[in-house]
Amino acid sequence: MTDPQSRRPLKSRGIPIFQRLAAGLASRGVPADAISAAGLIFGLAGGGVLAATAQVGGLEQSGLWLAAAAMVQLRLLCNMLDGMVAVEGGRKSKLGPLWNEIPDRVSDSATLIGAGYAAGGVPELGWLAALLAMLTAYIRAIGALNGAGEAFLGCFSKPRRMFFVTVACLVSAVGFSRFAIPAVLWLIVVGSAITCIQRLAWIERKL
């Protein structure tokens, strides 16, 4: 992260346990970029675990669904902590903006594409969801580059997309992947498309 104005507004930053965790990481000299890298690892692992659910069944598959849900949430935790360590912990780096954005885009794609290839998934929907998720971030970046500011608004920004993926994983763990995964992918596709329109309209008003 570079400055507070470029940060996604998150109420969870005010939760004491997260504040203590971020302060502890900063006091131990953990670089914010390393936390971003850990988030990327969790994101890639989550996508791989999601895809692996199509190769197994029974309790093993249920375990993979729960592991995927955990990976998604650990990735989001890293995404929050890297900014807290960088800004509140005073450990910003020159490469921080790159580490903040690029791993996020890769992780989003890995998660959504992995969901497309998961048990009950539809590969084409996974790819389309990943493309539209990338487009929401691209529109936000273009708005910031042209002076409109960071357009974090929209009905399906990253936290909401990952919330629904997590819910789909938990529902799938009890045997409903055939319905949960396609439904959530469709929801993300439609929601991300609406988010793109919302962000474009906001940027137009700002400019």
pLDDT of residue 5: 46
Closest CA to 46 of 95, 103, 120, 122: 103
Is the pLDDT higher at 3 or at 121?
121
Q: What is the mean pLDDT of the chain?
A: 89
Cα separation, 64 vs 109, in Å, equals 19
Model confidence pLDDT, tens digit, residues 49-78: 999 999 999 999 999 999 999 999 999 999
Q: What is the mean pLDDT of residues 7-14?
A: 71
Cα separation, 23 vs 32, in Å, equals 12
DSSP letter (8 states) at residue 156: T
pLDDT of residue 12: 73
Strand (E) or helix (H) holding 135: helix 123-145
pLDDT of residue 1: 36
Can you give the CATH number for the domain in which 114 is found? 1.20.120.1760
pLDDT of residue 199: 94
pLDDT of residue 90: 65
Is the pLDDT higher at 18 or at 57?
57
Q: Does position 94 have pLDDT exceeding 50, yes or no?
A: yes
State phi, psi for 126 to the nearest 5 degrees. Answer: -60, -45
pLDDT of residue 2: 37
Question: How many domains are contained in the chain?
Answer: 1
Say if CB 50 and CB 117 are below 8 A apart.
yes
Closest CA to 156 of 108, 114, 84: 108
Tell me the residue range of the domain where 80 lies: 4-206
Closest CA to 173 of 56, 59, 47: 59
What residue spans of 3-122 are helical by DSSP H?
16-27, 32-52, 58-87, 96-116
Cα separation, 157 vs 104, in Å, equals 12
Read off the pLDDT band of 7 (50, 70, 90): low
Q: Does position 10 have pLDDT exceeding 80, yes or no?
A: no
